[in-house]
Amino acid sequence: LTFPLLSVTLLVSFGSSMLYGYNLAVVNSPAVHIKAFYNTTWARRYGHGLAPGPLTLFYSLTVSIFALGGLVGSLLVGLLVERYGRNGALSRSALLILLAGGFMGFSRELGSPEMVIIGRSITGLHSGRCCLGCRAMHGPFLMARSPAHSQGTGEDFIFPMATGSANLRGFLGLVPSVFICLGVFFAQVLGLPELLGEDRFWPLFLSVVVVPASLQLLLLHCFPESPRYLLIERNDVCGTTKALRQFLGTPDVQDVIEEMKEEQRSLSSMEMVSVWQLLRDRSVRWQTLSVAVVNAGMQLSGIDAIWFYTTIIFENAGIPVSQIPYTTVGTGAIEVVMGLIGCFTIEKLGRRPLIITGFCTMGICLAGITVSLLLQTALPWMRYVVVACVIGIIAGFCMGPAGIPFLMTAELFTQSHRPAAYIVGGSLNWLCNFTIGFIFPFLQMSAGAFCYLVFCGICLLVALYIYLVIPETKNKTFMEISHIFA
């Protein structure tokens, strides 16, 4: 990987995946302060505060509206990249973050909880557009292998030609997941009482997202546009040549241009499958079902409840309030380490062992939380078992389920089916994210410690499905994978 190619990959991940991770965890530590702000504002407007139920509803909407924005953004990402290119689409998305930061940053000064909710929905819109773009469109903004050369392995859509080999697909596919973990970790660090964890700083804490977005907006102009976009969408041979020379660090790029022209001819003769056609296509029904299962299972595994409501979970476990921020930071650090381990071992161990082990680990630890909470009255030290179980859930998730579902979506389909498959998987991903973010507080109030058994069952069932149905896709072509499914 040349330095310009690596730089633009890291820049896109920094301003996209890391922001997504930050926004997942940023509402965790200031939850008490945000609820107090909502209650105070309501009392000022109507002469009485909010009851616990409506207050929980109001805060759950604040947390989960992020996912609805993400759903809308993920459906628009292809249109934006096709119309504006990589740089144009990312620049417009960065401007959205500046708008969202303004809404959230001035919400308390203007006494408007609505501005917090609007800001959260806009950050979700940005994450849907950019995070899916970072995961699913490495090809469009770096340069992709043609379907003829990649033999349907997935490289033609996601992985940059500069890798030169299919054996880096897994590594590059999990790079965005590492940045998501870093985003979560930074949110946990900034949420410490010594930094932005105090009541007076929570609007600033929410609006810190403008910093990486601004850096991305400034630095994007230092890099040329996507070579693939310049050639295939705009037919700009001169611009493509210049961009390729900068990315690859070599003046001889004619072979690459010819390969991309071959891709252009292939795409012009290829009929892209719609979502409805994908769902009705019996030849790929097991692949489609598998994408639905792993993407929905990833979000229904309970990881969103852990990220969104870590503080509440630790409070219910009896962890002293003063220790919770530091405990949370410790879990975030382990999260980053496990993400890196998964990234560097996926090509050695394969997809199936990592994702099955990850889901099984999560299921066992979720059951462990239930047992620990039930026994904590008799055994006070069980609170530390809860912390260990939370760490196990996060470690299991980052080891495989965090990124492999997106990778599998690419590897199970040819180019004609892949965009529709990403729409199906991405839509389920965001809808399940919204569902968990919205209902978890109410599920916790009604079921108590037993609410984690729901997630435990889902994790174990998804692991069983993967074990029985989904083959190992490492270093296999689409035809080989399709034959195994058949």
pLDDT digits (tens, 9 = 90+) for 374-427: 888 788 888 888 888 988 898 888 877 887 887 788 778 877 787 788 888 888
Residue 459 and residue 301 in contact, taking contact as beta carbons nearer than 8 Å: yes
Q: For residue 207, what pLDDT band results from cuts at 50, 70 and 90?
A: very high
Q: Which residue type is seen at 381?
A: W
- The answer, yes or no, to whether residue 334 has pLDDT greater than 50, is yes
Q: Look at 145-154, 208-217, 475-484 and tell me which has the smallest mean pLDDT.
A: 145-154
Average pLDDT, stretch 234-238? 80
Q: List C-alpha distances in Å: 69 to 20, 86, 96, 120.
A: 12, 20, 12, 8
The SS3 call for residue 157 is coil
The pLDDT tens digits for 83-95 are 766 667 777 778 8
CA distance 142 to 71: 25
With 0-12 / 13-18 / 19 or more C-beta atoms within 10 angstroms meaning exposed / middle / buried, residue 280 is exposed
The SS3 call for residue 84 is helix
Q: Look at 146-155, 248-257, 439-448 and tell me which has the smallest mean pLDDT.
A: 146-155
CA distance 362 to 455: 9
What percent of the chain is predicted at pLDDT more than 90? 17
Angle between helix 237-248 and 3-15 (nearest 10):
100
- What is the per-residue pLDDT for 136? 45
- What is the per-residue pLDDT for 5? 65
Place of tokens 């012009």: 268
- What is the per-residue pLDDT for 233? 72
- The answer, yes or no, to whether residue 444 has pLDDT greater than 80, is yes
What percent of the chain is predicted at pLDDT more than 70? 83
- What is the per-residue pLDDT for 352? 86
Average pLDDT, stretch 208-237? 79
Q: Mean of the per-residue pLDDT values for the chain?
A: 80
Q: Of 15-24, 112-121, 168-177, 313-322, give the range with the top mean pLDDT.
A: 112-121
Other residues' Cβ atoms within 10 Å of the Cβ of residue 41:
19
Higher pLDDT, 129 or 303: 303
Scored b (16 or more CB within 10 A) or e, 408-420 reads bbbbbbbbbbbbb
- What is the per-residue pLDDT for 222? 75
- The answer, yes or no, to whether residue 429 has pLDDT greater than 80, is yes
- The answer, yes or no, to whether residue 291 has pLDDT greater than 60, is yes
With 0-12 / 13-18 / 19 or more C-beta atoms within 10 angstroms meaning exposed / middle / buried, residue 304 is buried
Average pLDDT, stretch 181-193? 88
Place of tokens 């994007």: 220
Q: For residue 143, what pLDDT band results from cuts at 50, 70 and 90?
A: very low
CA distance 77 to 92: 11
- The answer, yes or no, to whether residue 202 has pLDDT greater than 80, is yes
- What is the per-residue pLDDT for 223? 74
- The answer, yes or no, to whether residue 274 has pLDDT greater than 90, is no
- What is the per-residue pLDDT for 225? 75
- The answer, yes or no, to whether residue 144 has pLDDT greater than 50, is no
Average pLDDT, stretch 453-473? 91
Q: For residue 483, what pLDDT band results from cuts at 50, 70 and 90?
A: confident
pTM for the structure as a whole: 0.80
Cα within 13 Å of Cα(267), Cβ side: 19
- The answer, yes or no, to whether residue 239 has pLDDT greater than 90, is no
Residue 447 and residue 297 in contact, taking contact as beta carbons nearer than 8 Å: no
Residue 329 and residue 382 in contact, taking contact as beta carbons nearer than 8 Å: no
- The answer, yes or no, to whether residue 273 has pLDDT greater than 70, is yes
CA proximity to 322, closest of 186, 194, 185, 182: 194
**Helix H segments across 210-350?**
210-219, 227-228, 237-248, 254-268, 275-280, 285-300, 303-308, 310-316, 324-349
Q: List C-alpha distances in Å: 200 to 108, 196, 329, 398, 469.
A: 9, 8, 21, 33, 52
Other residues' Cβ atoms within 10 Å of the Cβ of residue 250:
10
Q: For residue 33, what pLDDT band results from cuts at 50, 70 and 90?
A: very high
Torsion, Cα 125 442 366 347, to 10 degrees, reads -10
Cα within 13 Å of Cα(429), Cβ side: 28
Average pLDDT, stretch 433-461? 89
Average pLDDT, stretch 133-151? 38
Average pLDDT, stretch 346-365? 87
Average pLDDT, stretch 25-29? 85
Average pLDDT, stretch 451-466? 93
- What is the per-residue pLDDT for 229? 73
Q: Which residue type is seen at 397?
A: F
Pair of tokens at residue 475: 């270093």
Residue 295 sits at φ, ψ, to 5 deg, of: -75, -40
- The answer, yes or no, to whether residue 271 has pLDDT greater than 90, is no
Average pLDDT, stretch 49-74? 87
- What is the per-residue pLDDT for 292? 92
- The answer, yes or no, to whether residue 224 has pLDDT greater than 70, is yes
